[in-house]
Chain A
Amino acid sequence: MTLEVDPGSFRDPSGFVFTKQGQIFRQVNHSYRDHYLFLEEAGLFHEFQERGWLIKHHEVAAEHGASEDAWIVIQPERLPFISYPDEWCFSQLKDAALLTLDMQRRALELGASLKDASAFNVQFRTQGPIFIDSLSFERYKEGAPWIAYGQFCRHFLAPLALAADCDVRLMRLQGQYIDGIPLDIASNLLPWRTKLRPGLAMHLHLHANSIKKNADSRTKALGARTATPHLPKKRLLNLIDHLRDTVSGLNWTPGDSEWFDYYMSNNNYGDEGLEEKERLLRRFLGKGKAQVLWDIGGNTGRFSRIAASCGYEVLCWDIDPGCVEAAYRIQTKESTLPKVVPLLVDLTQPTAARGWQLTERRSFIERADVDCIMALGLIHHLVITNNVPLPKFFAFLAALGQTVIVEFIPKSDSQVQKLLANRDTDPFGDYTLEGFTAAAEELFDIVQQSLIPKSERSLFRLRRKSI
């Protein structure tokens, strides 16, 4: 019986996540017993699960626990994929923030409170954000301040404010700071005008100042350091409401995103050509049967949604925050569209392993090994723009998935012409259809191949060779 404790689940003494025989469980320790029973009796678990806020779980026998501390073991609903906050677009992080605050507010009304407010507690499914850590709640003690307020501001408010008022790319700082962007850094980076807005002035700038002033508690008297200020519940609710208004008021809209207009102008298909490509793609995809598909370089998700309509569970990855934002907003706005989960990644430097012993948060490649990888309109950006040799390109694809659907874009294509325009010489001698197929056949079998009608591009379906 293979049992593995999740290396990222160790900080909370209330319990931890482990995997047993390929299934995920959460051990609830004896120390959390009273809180758990209180929350059950208050109806918090039931209400939040019915609302779609909190992941559903059922209890299993304590004998299935991973240690002697186990009181009970719960099994949460399966999540298709674990993503991290620096892989989310602006609106995804904002929705996760609002979910966290809505839960905290309602929890307070029920006599409970969140003891942590990490963005890692939220995950994204096609239906939107969901809170996954059932043990994050504890019984609320009247008069106690919110212990997770600082963490919430670092994980949510700081990156959202930086995106809204500075530069959206600063959200990637979340990858550098695993416990949220320090408020003093955010305060220093944000423009002066943000100090004139009550929300950011208080929850970010004043907050940062207070943390800085009280940082060194060693010189303070013992009594002052351990005393907890009294904060009546009504005032705490006011703080939560105002914080929610502040987060709600932060907005970012993609400006002149270079990839956003990719299919709007200068594309190499024409509308009819695009339809032909879609028809061909559907043939290559076949029936997904709930297989997992990653569309890498998926832009605004057009072809990802085709894969979803074929039955695949789809993640649509792109480098451009504007495209991921558009992909997320499109399906939030139009509920009839097939659903995917859009996420952000730079394939030339994908998400690295992070945290304690570099095992707490897994890398992009460690979370892969999916059923199908789709790489449309991508190869020339990696091989031509980023000088990735063809063999390395295919080695990367082989590390990600069993089946690959890849589009070859020849040098005669106008998009490749643009990329080569500023070069005096062409160092990409092997970037031809023959060179492409030769490199592919080192690691893959070519299952299907076809020229895309009304274009010079070709579509391939590859199957990874067994080692």
Chain B
Amino acid sequence: MVGPSITIPVNKARRTGWRRLMLPKLIFTVWLFCWSAHACAYLDPVSGSFLVQSLIAIVAGALVAIKTYWTKLKAFFSARGSEPSLESKGADANEPNDGTK
């Protein structure tokens, strides 16, 4: 048995408002893609990889700096350690003997 047909009135005012918003959204989207960083890149820019780079880069920078200074510090103390002591009585075989001691 077929029920009575129901006609849903069209809300002309709402449909017009929806169309009014579509164009600015479209323009905004196109504008954003125009400013995309990689016009020639084709890889899918995975958001997770992008977002995590900033954090990792900051921590990595700190670790690289620590490593650099630690290397310099070790080199500094190694160099100090190999200098002959003023109290030493024997001459270092590798040191040039210029007769000043």
Give A238 to B64 CA distance when docked, in angstroms.
Answer: 7
- Known A-B contacts A206-B52, A223-B32; the reply to A242 vs B60 at CB < 8 A is yes
- Known A-B contacts A210-B51, A214-B48, A235-B61; the reply to A202 vs B41 at CB < 8 A is no
A58 within 8 A of B: no
Give A396 to B76 CA distance when docked, in angstroms.
Answer: 64
Name B63's contact: one of A143, A212, A234, A242 (CB within 8 Å). A242
Which single residue of chain B is at the shortest CB-CB distance from A215?
B48
Which single residue of chain A is at the shortest CB-CB distance from B47?
A214
- Please indicate which of the listed interface residues B38, B49, B67 has the most CB atoms of chain A within 10 Å of its own CB: B49
A13 within 8 A of B: yes
Give A138 to B67 CA distance when docked, in angstroms.
Answer: 31
0/1 string, A15-51, CB within 8 A of B gives 1: 0000000000000000110010000000000000000
0/1 string, B40-69, CB within 8 A of A gives 1: 111101111111111111111101100100
Contacts of A238 in B (CB 8 A): 57, 60-61, 64
0/1 string, A101-116, CB within 8 A of B gives 1: 0000000000000011
Please determine whether A231 and B53 come into contact, CB atoms closer than 8 angstroms.
Answer: yes
Contacts of B43 in A (CB 8 A): 115-116, 147-148, 151
Nearest CB of B to A429, in Å: 57
Please determine whether A147 and B52 come into contact, CB atoms closer than 8 angstroms.
Answer: no
B33 within 8 A of A: yes
Contacts of B41 in A (CB 8 A): 115-116, 138, 147
Please determine whether A141 and B37 come into contact, CB atoms closer than 8 angstroms.
Answer: yes
A193 within 8 A of B: no
Contacts of A212 in B (CB 8 A): 48
Q: Is the interface of B mostly helix, strand, loop or mixed?
A: helix
Give A170 to B51 CA distance when docked, in angstroms.
Answer: 28
Give A198 to B43 CA distance when docked, in angstroms.
Answer: 27
**How many residues on A have C-beta within 8 angstroms of the other chain's C-beta atoms?**
51
Give A206 to B40 CA distance when docked, in angstroms.
Answer: 28
Give A235 to B40 CA distance when docked, in angstroms.
Answer: 23
Contacts of B47 in A (CB 8 A): 211, 214, 217, 225
Give A198 to B41 CA distance when docked, in angstroms.
Answer: 30
Contacts of A146 in B (CB 8 A): 53
**How many residues on B have C-beta within 8 angstroms of the other chain's C-beta atoms?**
32
Nearest CB of B to A39, in Å: 11
Which single residue of chain A is at the shortest CB-CB distance from B29?
A222
Give A13 to B42 CA distance when docked, in angstroms.
Answer: 7
Which single residue of chain B is at the shortest CB-CB distance from A220?
B47
Give A241 to B47 CA distance when docked, in angstroms.
Answer: 22
Please determine whether B60 and A202 come into contact, CB atoms closer than 8 angstroms.
Answer: yes
Contacts of B67 in A (CB 8 A): 245
Contacts of B78 in A (CB 8 A): none
A384 within 8 A of B: no
Give A11 to B44 CA distance when docked, in angstroms.
Answer: 11
B82 within 8 A of A: no
B94 within 8 A of A: no
Name B54's contact: one of A116, A145, A148 (CB within 8 Å). A145
Contacts of A213 in B (CB 8 A): 48
Interface residues of B in 2-19 (CB under 8 A from A): none
Contacts of B61 in A (CB 8 A): 234-235, 238-239, 242
B97 within 8 A of A: no
A144 within 8 A of B: yes
The 6 closest A-B pairs by CB, nearest first: A211-B48, A150-B49, A242-B60, A238-B61, A210-B52, A235-B57
Q: Can you identify 14 A-B contacts, CB atoms within 8 angstroms? A: A115-B43, A147-B43, A203-B56, A207-B49, A207-B56, A210-B48, A210-B49, A214-B47, A217-B47, A236-B53, A238-B64, A241-B64, A243-B60, A245-B64
Taking Cβ atoms with an 8 Å cutoff, the residues of A that contact B are 11-14, 31-32, 35, 115-116, 138, 141, 143-151, 153, 198, 202-203, 206-207, 210-215, 217, 222-223, 225-231, 234-236, 238-239, 241-243, 245
